[in-house]
Amino acid sequence: MKQSVLLILCSVLLIQCKKTIEAKAQNAIMQAMTNGQWAITSFTSNGTDITSNFTGFSFQYFSNYTVEAIRNGSVNDTGTWMGDVNTMSITANFSNAINPILLLNGTWTVTDNSWTYVKATMTVGNEVRTLRLDKQ
């Protein structure tokens, strides 16, 4: 009986520890993304460099999971974003966007990151997109 109680207690503690760790990781993502503006410094579509299409744009992420695409100092589009530490992904949705911002919509798999940059890929049909965001 004592072993069963101990096993249950240990299981509950492990679950709580896992949830705490996940919450701290999610908070770290939020802090990194919402602290400052970001710029796309590399964007390819099936290996073709189209980074210049994003010239003049910066992105401001907010803790309410909205994001602004700012072009030359003015808000060009507003969308939503979500970061998922478990799947190492970031989802973006600019509902009324046109190109090039429309190319950002979808779920991106993070392939490399730090506090100041994010590299990610997304496949849409047969198209493979890659991007790099750098904190400005």
What's the pLDDT tens digit per position in 62-100? Answer: 999 999 999 999 999 999 999 998 899 999 999 999 999
b/e map 119-132, b = 16+ CB within 10 Å? bbebeeeeeebbbb
Task: Identify the architecture of domain 2-135 in CATH.
Answer: Beta Barrel (2.40)
CB-based contacts of 66: which residues, under 8 Å, 6+ apart?
Answer: 78, 79, 80, 81
Tens of pLDDT, residues 13-63: 445 555 555 555 556 667 878 999 999 999 999 999 999 999 999 999 999
| 26 compared with 122, residue with greater pLDDT | 122
DSSP state of 114: -
Separation of alpha carbons 10 and 38, rounded Å = 42
Mean of the per-residue pLDDT values for the chain? 86
Give the predicted TM-score (pTM) of the model. 0.81
